Every structure is written in structure tokens, then in C-alpha cells.
Amino acid sequence: MNDYQKIVESDIQTFIDNYDTRPVDLNTKNYERNIVFLGCSLTYGEGVDNKNTYPSRVQQLSDDKWNCINLGIYGGSIDMAYLIFNKVKDLNIDDIVIQWPSFYRRAYFEDNYYKPYLPMQTLDDMELSGDFANISDNGYCLMRNLSNLQVINSFKSVYNLSPNIGHDYKDLFEKYDIENILDFNFYLDTEDKYRIEDGHPNELWYEQYSEYLYKELK
């Protein structure tokens, strides 16, 4: 088995041990409800303490009756969400909450590690050959992401947090009969008071969004 196969076929605990994730509790028997949160740095909570991320705040609002497993990855893509989904789908999980990252992001395998390819990066930044750009054309993104979107939504209970970043997911959700669509532009596109210096949401945004999300998940 090569290094790529080892990462793809590893269990979720091995994945967590090798990637920068928030602390999680995989002992699902201790809770009334177990919810896995997938997404990018907005779910991970870049720039805020773990207790202030929206998965953690939702768990606090449930009086710790819900186990909110934050598997958001900085620079996360639909590729990464799909990879993680396949590692958790057979656990004792009740719901998947997925915050859909920018449509054009990719994940690539290099140096025994999955790395993010972000559209704003140049190929020189990534130290990759120019041929790599060919896998990020619109047609490739559409077909690959549609497949991943539909597979993830085949799970028994999925909540889709829909941004309008890079692509309007709402059009795709409607076309392919994707249900349980929740707002993710809640304050994100408005005032600077909801952002930290690099543009990520701040504690105030997480506090208010968590209250909205908790009510929707109830």
C-alpha cells in the first residue's frame, strides 16, 4: 500500500492525528445526538478560540447533550469534505452539517499529505508544475463537486450551509433536489464589526450564527 492509499484508507482518528483539527470526542455513546461538522476555516474557526467556534457554541447551547464534532479544515475544499465524510459515515453519527467551501478549491496529495489548492494562490506559490492548473477548470469542478455533493447528501440526515462564494450553491441544490439548506451568509457579507483583520468571522459573528444554527438543528 502506498502513502496515498494509507491516507485515503486510514480511520478518522488517524486522520485527526495527522491534520490540524479542533479537539473532538469520538466516544459517541456519551451523547443524545452526535453531529459532524464539515467545512473550511469558517467551520474550523480561524482566529477564535475553540470554545467560540460555532460547533462548540452549538454544543454549549445544547447543555452538552449534543456532541458537535468539528472536522473543519483550514483551506478545506469539497474534496476534503468528501474524504472526511467517508471516514465518519459509518460511525454512530446522527447528522452531518456541511459548510460548503469555495466551489473552485481543490485538495492535492504531496509529501505524504493532503494540501489545499486555493484559487487565489499562484502555481509558483504551490511549487507545482503548470499542468496542475488544468485540473481546476470549471467543467472539472462542476462534475467532481456535483458527485461529492450528492454522495454526502445521501447520508440519512444532512444540513447544507450554503454560501455564495465562488459559486451559487443554491442553484445546484435546487436543480438536484438537495434539501435542508440553511443560510451561511448570516452577517458574513455585512459589517466589519463581524470580522477579524484577515476577513474571517469574529467571536460576535460566531455567537450570533450559533444561536441561529442551534434553533434550526432543534
Q: Given the DSSP bridges, would you call strands 158-162 and 181-183 parallel, antiparallel or unpaired?
A: parallel
* Most confidently predicted of 7-16, 30-39, 113-122, 177-186: 30-39
Averaged pLDDT, 125-142: 53
d(CA 172, CA 60): 33
Predicted pLDDT at 132: 46
Residue 201 near residue 209 (C-beta atoms within 8 A): yes
Structural domains of the chain ordered from first start: 3-217 (3.40.50.1110)
Predicted pLDDT at 131: 46
Q: Which sign does the torsion angle of CA 32, 10, 19, 44 carry?
A: negative
Cα distances from 142 to residues 145, 148, 151, 159, in angstroms, run 5, 10, 14, 21
Predicted pLDDT at 88: 93
Report pTM. Answer: 0.85
Pick from 34-43, 118-127, 139-148, 195-204: least confident: 118-127
Collect all residues with Cβ–Cβ distance below 8 Å to 93 and sequence separation of at least 6: 28, 34, 35, 36, 69
Pick the more confident residue, 172 or 16: 16
Of the pLDDT bands very low, low, confident and very high (cuts 50, 70, 90), residue 129 is very low
Predicted pLDDT at 169: 72
Neighbours of 42 (CB within 10 A): 24
Of the pLDDT bands very low, low, confident and very high (cuts 50, 70, 90), residue 111 is low
Averaged pLDDT, 139-157: 84
User: At residue 48, does pLDDT exceed 90?
Assistant: yes
Pick the more confident residue, 13 or 110: 13
Q: Which sign does the torsion angle of CA 66, 69, 75, 76 carry?
A: negative
Of the pLDDT bands very low, low, confident and very high (cuts 50, 70, 90), residue 104 is confident
Of the pLDDT bands very low, low, confident and very high (cuts 50, 70, 90), residue 58 is very high
Predicted pLDDT at 65: 97
Grid cell for residue 172: 445546484
Q: What mean pLDDT, rounded, does the chain reach? A: 81
* Nearest C-alpha neighbor of 21 from the set 44, 38, 47, 51: 44
User: At residue 94, does pLDDT exceed 80?
Assistant: yes
Of the pLDDT bands very low, low, confident and very high (cuts 50, 70, 90), residue 6 is low
